[in-house]
Structure 1
């Protein structure tokens, strides 16, 4: 009888613990980053550190556009925290980050050849995705 009560208690505890987990609240932000001087040392370092930060689900730093596209869990971190985090990399002396105001509701457009070379879609050489956040695409969306 005691064993059944213990098993039952453990089962209920498991259901309560798994049922009470917070749902991931995904958000994205594009940061304009100044101070990067090279792709390997700067951009890859920032991308690596962002990817390891608690709450960050994915990060891609594009050196040629000085942009970081970050997907994060808003329950664990915030836009302000991410901006401060990038600014603090390398002792806080090298990089400055600010939120990039890219219009993500615009329709697809055709990228320039220069944009296509740095764009993730360069293999297709077609129009950028509707939600493209690259700086070279920002002025072409209308």
Structure 2
């Protein structure tokens, strides 16, 4: 009977010790959302290549949203910067299909072309029925005038993307 009480006490002590053991809690960081556009070469079809890349990106840890546009050879990705990085995403896409089919790089951001005074006058005085041509230039909060992305007018034809 005395041995049973000792074994029972040891069993209870073991349960208490293991049950009350404080585990190191991982501090959950707030999601730090960032976006990146990747230029992807090597895609030959929309259903096979683009959809496979999009599917694999969507399942990658840290990726919040991924859209692959086959016609532009671009992947637009929203991700948690605390979990992954732009460079990790480039390497991940490059590693899909054994690393021999696809090459990814961070797509350059478009740079707005500052309109010249002549361009501003031409844009502001344009009288046409097309809305995109009527509103060629827009003025930012700081007073800087920029040509809009969808401008088809000759005055903004020298607009360049970096």
TM-score range, shorter chain: 0.5 to 0.7
Return the match for 2:149 from 109, 117, 138.
109
Other-structure match for 1:7: none
Q: Structure 1 residues 74, 38: CA separation in 2 closer, same or farther (over 3 Å shift)?
A: same
Other-structure match for 1:32: 39
Secondary structure of the residue that 1:47 maps to in structure 2? helix
Other-structure match for 1:4: none
Where relative contact order (Cα < 8 A, 6+ residues apart) is larger, the structure is 1
Q: Structure 1 residues 83, 53: CA separation in 2 closer, same or farther (over 3 Å shift)?
A: same
Write the distance in 2 (CA, Å) between the matches of 1:111 and 1:53: 37
C-alpha distance after superposition, 1:54-108 (max 9, x if no partner):
0000000000000000000000001110000000000001000000002277774
Q: Are 1:68 and 2:68 an aligned pair?
A: no
Write the distance in 1 (CA, Å) between the matches of 2:151 and 2:30: 36
Return the match for 1:49 from 31, 52, 56.
56
Unaligned runs of 5+ in 2: 1-21, 113-145, 153-158
Q: Residue 21 of structure 1: CA displacement?
A: 2.0
Q: Which runs of 4+ in 1 moved over 3 A?
A: 104-108, 139-142
RMSD: 2.7
Write the distance in 1 (CA, Å) between the matches of 2:161 and 2:149: 6
Secondary structure of the residue that 2:149 maps to in structure 1? coil
TM-score normalised by the chain length of structure 2: 0.55
Equivalent residues of 1:107, 1:141 under 8 A apart: no
Q: How many residues align?
A: 100
Give the number of the structure whose alpha-carbon radius of gyration is greater: 2
Q: Structure 1 residues 108, 24: CA separation in 2 closer, same or farther (over 3 Å shift)?
A: farther
Unaligned runs of 5+ in 1: 1-12, 113-138
